[in-house]
Each structure stands twice: as structure tokens, then as C-alpha cells.
A = this chain, B = another copy of it.
Amino acid sequence: MSTEPRASRPATIADVAARAGVSLATVSRVLNDNPRVDRALAAKVRQAADDLRYSASPLARSLVLGKTNTVAVVVPDLENPTFLGVLRGLSRAAGRDGYHILVADSAESVTEEIALAGTTRRRCDGLVLCAPRMPEDDLRRLLGELQPVVLVNREPGSTDPTGTPVVAADYRAALAELLELLHADGHRELVYLAGASRSASNTRRLAAVRDFGADHPDARVVTLPCGVNFADGYAAAATVADRIAGHVGAGDPEGGQPTAVLAFNDLVAMGLLSGLGERGIRVPADVSVTGFDDIPFARYLSPPLTTAAVPVDELGVQAWHRMADRLGGRTTPGHAVFRPSVERRASTGPAPVATSAGRTSRRRRVAR
């Protein structure tokens, strides 16, 4: 018969109403700061709520309000510094606006990614999708079903009718700048250590490589499949060292002796630096190396790494702003593209003369 809540059950609005001797509606009003409620009554309600350590069930509120104050974030791998940075920036920015983050790690599986996008989206108000490798068809379908969506580092595809906002770093422009920097330093035989071949950011870097080749007939960039981690870069050091020594890869008649290597990212560059060091190859005296991302200690490596600083946290913050706009019914201007700033440090320098001569004469020793 009592209206007191049992100790174990969290207090409900009805408990508060009973204790304050008012109706549910009044309690709701007071707790939602509806101004047109009597001061005295309001005080009484608040007192009752305090006594009962009451706070409204977010679940019930969400159901009736039709909003959860939560957004889902799907990333391929939390270990990846890019997505981690995005998540961090996003989570803090959203937190400041009273929003929560439901995070899902697809473990690099596209199938999982698609499924997670759906299941997480349903319990949230929106979806921030980092899906660099999702096939375009699947992406299009998801964009149709899961709005509001904000895309990070991924284009919606040629014909996207949804006007989905995109927040991205301009990997292409940044790699182009790195290439130009090396070219200006006299490098003519370059190697690009590619990341996951189907990822969006790798594709954009490859476009920069293509452009560069077209713009500079005097130079050549050989693309080598590599990977995205330290270990991948470390492993690539063997191949790179061979090429520097003049032992060109058998299946690659185009390669000369490279004087510069552009790593997919800083992790790869670090691995490369490490493997090169073990082989007595000096950086930048024998070969210049660039990274990508500017992770916190890139500047502290030996030598400090020339790289392109991708503002990952900012990407996350902006992704949130786009999402907040959509949630607020505002329609946001299209894509936000951030141009990474190239940090020129000591891992790059003038092309070594010897190799430069070799290049000029197009001389090439063939592996045997």
C-alpha cells in the first residue's frame, strides 16, 4: 500500500510525486525546469527528489522524446591512431553538449561493420561512420537507411542523394606536398609504401602519386605494397634496402635506386627507420623518409620525422559539429576537408649525389 519505494528499486517519478503530494506532471515539469510552476511546490518536489535520490530514467525519456542523446561511432579498429583520435575528439566534443558515444569496433571486418552500423544506429540518434573500406554499394544502402549519418575520411560515392556530410583530411594534397618537397630536394627516384590497398586514404595517396608522375616526367615513383603498422614498415626495410643497393625488384623494370621513401604513415615510417638503421643505411644521408599523421612522437624520432600532420582530434570535433547540426534540424554545408600541414624535419634532405648521378644516366644494375 505504501508509496515509498523499496530500497533496492531506483525511485520513479511516481515515488517523487507521492512523496511531494503532487501529480506526475508537476514533478516532470519541475525537473525539466518548466518555469510556470509554483515556487513553493517546485521546492517541495525538488526536496522529495533529493530525498529519494531520484533522477529520471534516460530510457523512458528517450522513448517518449524520441531521442537518446547518444550517437554511434563505428570504427574499423580502435588501435588505429587516426580513428582513435577521431573518437577522442568526437567523444569530448559530444560530451560537452551532453551527448554520449556508443562505440563499435568492427575488427576490420566489413561484414561486421555493416551489421554494427545498423544495430548501433538503432539505439542512437545518429551515426558517425569511419568505413574506409566498405564497398560503395553497401555504403550507399546504409546511407539511405541510417540517416542522420556523418562520414569520416570517406566519400559517400559519386551519386549520393542523401547529402551526407563528410569530414575528411586531404590525404591527396598532403602527399602531393610531401612529394613536391622531396622533388625540390632533388629526389627523382621515389618509393611509396602503400597501406591497405582498398582503403580510401590509400586511394587518395595513390592519386597524388599519379599526379606527381604526370607533372614530373623527370621523376619516378614506385609503389610497393606494405601495410599500416610498425611491423609492416620494418619488413619493408629489406626490400627498400635492396633497391637502394641497386638490386631492383625482378618484376619491376621501372625502378631505379631510390633516394626517398614515402611511408603510408608514421608507424610504417618508424618501422622502416628501424629496419634501415639495422642495415647501416643512413637517413637522410642515404635515403630520405617521410611519414604521415604526425603522431605525438614523430618529432622525437632519430632523425625527427618529416610528416604530414593530420588533425585527427579536430576531425572528430568537426564530425560532431556536423552531427549536432543535423540533429538540431540544421542542414550543414557540404564537406569539411582539412589539409594536413607538412612538418618538415630531419628525416628528409637533399638527394645523395651518387644516386643522383646514377639516375641522370639512367644506369641501372639488375638484380641477379
Contacts and interface: CB of A to CB of B under 8 A. Distances in A.
A88 B79 contact: yes
Contacts of A87: 78, 103
Contacts of A60: 63
A270 interface: yes
Contacts of A100: 102, 104, 119-120, 123
A80 to B, nearest CB: 11
Interface in A250-308: 267, 270-271, 274, 277-278, 296-297, 300-302
Nearest to A96: B107
Interface string A215-243: 00000000000000111001000000000
A169 B26 CA distance: 50
A55 B103 CA distance: 21
Given A91-B103, A103-B101, A68 B79 contact: no
Interface string A59-70: 110110000101
A35 interface: no
A107 B63 CA distance: 30
B296 A58 contact: no
Contact of A104 (B62, B101, B105): B101
Most chain B beta carbons < 10 A, residue from A60, A100, A101: A100
Nearest to A58: B123
A363 to B, nearest CB: 33
Describe A's contact surface by its main secondary structure.
helix
B105 A95 contact: yes
A102 B103 CA distance: 6
For this chain, the copies found in one complex come to 2
A87 B88 CA distance: 13
Interface string A30-55: 00000000000000000000000101
A331 interface: no
A70 B300 contact: no
Contacts of A120: 100
A19 to B, nearest CB: 19
A78 B68 contact: no
Contacts of A53: 145
Given A100-B104, A100-B123, A123-B70, A267 B297 contact: yes
A122 interface: yes
10 contacts: A57-B122, A58-B123, A78-B87, A79-B84, A79-B88, A100-B102, A229-B296, A271-B297, A274-B302, A278-B302
Given A79-B84, A277-B302, 8 more contacts: A57-B122, A59-B59, A59-B63, A63-B63, A79-B88, A103-B103, A234-B300, A270-B297
